[in-house]
Structure 1
Amino acid sequence: MSASTYKVSGMTCSGCAGKVTAEIRKVAGVSSVDVDLATGQVTVTSDGPLDDEQIRNVVEEVGYEVVPA
């Protein structure tokens, strides 16, 4: 198991967090997604290493942006 944390810009409510979570969960190997709305941090736990670019792409598909932490 490995975990990666991303800072996502634009999430302001639980609906936003739900959209981001749902899309990230579709990525192969992802086992859990934890969103902290107060900080904008999204922690993704997976079975192996994640492709950061793929995570960025799925976040952007639902209208948000991964920004430097």
Structure 2
Amino acid sequence: MDNLPNLKLGDDCKQVKWMRCLLLARGYAPEDLYSFSFDDELADTVQRFKAAKNVGDGPAWNKACWIAILS
């Protein structure tokens, strides 16, 4: 898990798509599953996930989020 990146609003990469797929698998359906962009809609989904899992606030996706979603 040490190689998983921190992601933030505005990022555009394949890891954002991985995050979208994992969020869908955990019941947090992002609107555009196939997008590589960390946009405002995804930030809202991330904040709902983080609140439910108690892994901080704000839209940034970090190591604690990866651990929570992969556990």
Larger strand percent: 1
Q: If the TM-score is normalised by the length of the shorter chain, which range does it land in?
A: 0.3 to 0.5
TM-score, reference length from structure 2: 0.37
Between 1 and 2, higher relative CO (CA 8 Å, sep ≥ 6) is seen in 1
Higher percent of residues as helix: 2
**TM-score of the two chains, using structure 1 as the length reference:** 0.38
